[in-house]
Amino acid sequence: MSDGKSSKMRYVQTTCPYCGVGCTLNLVVNDGKLVGVEPYRRSPINEGKLCPKGMTCHEFVHSPDRLTKPLIKKDGEFVEASWDEALDLVAKKLRETSDKYGPKSLGFQVSCRTPNEECYIMQKIARVGFLTNNVDNCARICHGPSVAGLSLSFGSGAATNPFEDVLNSNLLLVWGSNAVEAHPLVGRRIAQAKLKGIPIIVIDPRYSPTARLADDWVRFNPSTHIALANSMMYWIIKEGKHDKEFIEKRTKGFDDLKKMVEKYADVENITGVPTEKVREIALKYAEAKNAVIIYCLGITELTTGTDNVRSMGNLAMLTGNIGRPGVGVNPLRGQNNVQGACDMGAYPNVYSGYQKCEDPAARKKMETAWGLKEGSLPDWYGSTLTEQINECGDPIKAMYIFALNPVVSYPDSNHVKRSLEKLDFLVVQDIFWTETCEYADVVLPGASFAEKDGTFTSGERRINRVRKAVDPPGDAKEDWEIFVLLAQKLGLKGFDFKSPQEIWDDMRKVTPSMAGCSYARLEKPESLHWPCPTEEHPGTPILHVDKFSAPDGLGTFFGLEYRPPAEVADAEYPFTLMTGRLIFHYHTRTQTDRARILHYEVPENYVQINTEDAKRLNIVRGEKVKVRSRRGESIAVARVTDEVGPGVLFMAMHFPEGANALTNTALDPLSKMPELKHCAVTVEKIKEGN
Ligand code: SF4
């Protein structure tokens, strides 16, 4: 970097492109190139701090590997094409498919790493252009159960309180979250709470870096959350520590819950946690003046995901820990715009702001706003992300994948590859060549976060500005612009946008909960939390203050029965595989592996195995082992450790031919979340010559 006085050097304030914390940072630009990152010190989110990913987020932008030209597959080979040729082909194929086979023959898959404006315009193309609800985003495979579960419990599927609010709490219950690695600046808040003397309970089968911050670390058998939560609630009620006034005035369904948890006094045989320990942590949580629940994918990525989330809601309502500072239920969103992609209606049953497609009034409103004939928008629940993969070939014939890499990030990679091969036509729009591009007919080069304007919405419902610092490389285009050009090729009306701001304003016009969030108001460092219905409204950092968001204003308890995972360890596959994220990588590493420091920290796939298991199998630290499931196999470096218990393995989700070569496609019936966190595997030494 130069001395900082160069007239060509400038700072561009923007939002980190990685996790859902949404840290503010400055991109340092010199001569039209990114040369560094500086934290933005006035941000209330990260207060001038960044994690290793944030500090290096500029490094991939000018990579020589970037896609710079549209590509069309001809005779099995990809050849460069003009934008006109590529978009003509995309428009023609999508239109032909829709005309021939109907609206359910198309699948639109939207990324959670792209700005809100691009999520909104893509779902609008799907709905206006093809009258289909087959549009979904990758929240489906991380926080779909949060959207479903919290909506059922509280009437809104979003986090209840801001991140910094943990410092107003008297107890942190961190469940199924390794925030220190997966959401490092929330991890910092947890560390600050520790320094302040706020007690921390971490419930996790693994002794993660976050568990090391805990006053009480509770190791439980993987995927037994509902049994454990029910037992905690049994003891809270038995000891009379529930908040009777809150339950009476603000909730319904308590009797169902009470009846259900009576069966769960002792769950040691299910969870592995001694009854006295369950009672102890339950009473600590209930007796704290203000207690907050923080959870993540350890709760959601299971076939019981929605019920697990509702169990968190049950616990919070039972103890009256809702609707004021220092309390609440807060899912930590994985990717930078997981919250926003859902908010924008890139979802198969809702428009922006969670207006339901099944509601005739909502459909009529959208038809009027979007210039469609009355009665034309579909009322049916579209296919979800992973259902679309299952439906490749029949009924889905053509698919549009925007900034996603399903071959690596969806469960059972072999199944995904076989499915994509069945499509008549596949478009992939991305910034790098990914494993999924191999299956495409057209590849369109898009722009990175640093090359476009827009907004990301963080896990605390805060809408943060994304600002363009440099131009995309070669012929690559800003993604919103690609969608505008495609809409023109399709002859669609209502897409003549000249900027992301115009798309945002189009969204605001039809979305009451974000109508007051103008770009001008988002300029402030603290930005705005939705709901924010008018230009005068201050935004809503804390939800459910006087009443819940449900139409009757009440929160709902659910009596939930424990169900085991879809696939449990047995004699043939005797280990339970858990998966998760690392601090040094993001998603399928297309961006982070191009930052030198991040690459060298974790250059290859590894698996954690318990010391006793490793000894029994004669596996030593650093040797390569083969992990197999009923669906595939993966080679990984063994890390021998007591962080995982006997019979349990842990593997990160970031590597090709890694965890998702093994994982199970079984779905949570309510949210359609696949069981990414739990499957049965075997581990073995690699014999010489293999
Ligand atoms: Fe980026 Fe998340 Fe790290 Fe903040 S905590 S710098 S948002 S990856």
pLDDT in tens, 249-274: 999 999 999 999 999 999 999 999 99
Atom of ligand 1 lying closest to residue 57 CA: 1
Distance 185 CA to ligand 1 centre (A): 6
C-alpha–C-alpha distance, residues 142 and 148, integer Å: 12
What is the average pLDDT value for the chain, to the nearest integer? 95
Distance 60 CA to ligand 1 centre (A): 16
Q: What is the pLDDT of residues 2-40, one digit of tens each?
A: 444 455 799 999 999 999 999 999 999 999 999 999 989
Distance 24 CA to ligand 1 centre (A): 9
pLDDT at 50: 96
pLDDT band at residue 117 using 50, 70 and 90 as cut-offs: very high
pLDDT at 39: 83
pLDDT band at residue 599 using 50, 70 and 90 as cut-offs: confident
What are the pocket residues of ligand 1 if the criterion is a CB atom closer than 6 Å to any ligand atom?
A: 16, 18-19, 21-23, 46, 50-51, 53-54, 183-185
C-alpha–C-alpha distance, residues 434 and 116, integer Å: 23
pLDDT at 106: 98
Atom of ligand 1 lying closest to residue 45 CA: 4
pLDDT at 393: 98
Atom of ligand 1 lying closest to residue 49 CA: 6
- Ramachandran quadrant class, 682 (left: phi over 0; alpha: psi -120 to 50; beta: rest): beta
Which residue puts its alpha carbon closest to atom 3 of ligand 1? 51
Distance 487 CA to ligand 1 centre (A): 34
The whole-model pTM stands at 0.94
- Residues for the chain: how many in total? 690
According to DSSP, the residues that pair with 603 across neighbouring strands are none
- Contact present, 654 and 588 (Cβ < 8 Å): yes
Q: What is the pLDDT of residues 439-448, one digit of tens each?
A: 999 999 999 9
How many CB atoms within 10 Å of residue 73?
A: 16
- Candidate from 53, 59, 180 with most ligand 1 atoms within 8 A of CB, to mutate: 53
Which residue puts its alpha carbon closest to atom 4 of ligand 1? 23
Atom of ligand 1 lying closest to residue 22 CA: 7
Q: Give me the helix-helix angle, 116-124 and 479-489, nearest 10°.
A: 10
pLDDT at 1: 40
Tell me which residue of 465, 408, 423, 385 sits closest to 668, measured CA to CA.
Answer: 385
Which residue puts its alpha carbon closest to atom 2 of ligand 1? 19
Q: What is the pLDDT of residues 271-286, one digit of tens each?
A: 999 999 999 999 999 9
pLDDT at 595: 80
pLDDT at 658: 87
- Contact present, 681 and 632 (Cβ < 8 Å): no
Phi and psi torsions of 203, nearest 5°: -110, 110
C-alpha–C-alpha distance, residues 179 and 532, integer Å: 28
Residue 142 has pLDDT above 60, yes or no: yes
Atom of ligand 1 lying closest to residue 17 CA: 1
- Candidate from 18, 581, 584 with most ligand 1 atoms within 8 A of CB, to mutate: 18
Distance 143 CA to ligand 1 centre (A): 18
- Candidate from 15, 25, 51 with most ligand 1 atoms within 8 A of CB, to mutate: 51
Tell me which residue of 166, 77, 199 sits closest to 443, measured CA to CA.
Answer: 77
pLDDT at 688: 61
pLDDT at 596: 85
Give Cβ neighbours of residue 420 (< 8 Å, ≥ 6 apart). 389, 392, 399, 406, 407, 426, 436, 439
Q: What is the mean pLDDT of residues 144-166?
A: 94
Distance 111 CA to ligand 1 centre (A): 18
pLDDT band at residue 326 using 50, 70 and 90 as cut-offs: very high
- Candidate from 23, 189, 335 with most ligand 1 atoms within 8 A of CB, to mutate: 23
Q: In angstroms, what CA-CA distances link 310 with 151, 244, 307?
A: 9, 19, 5
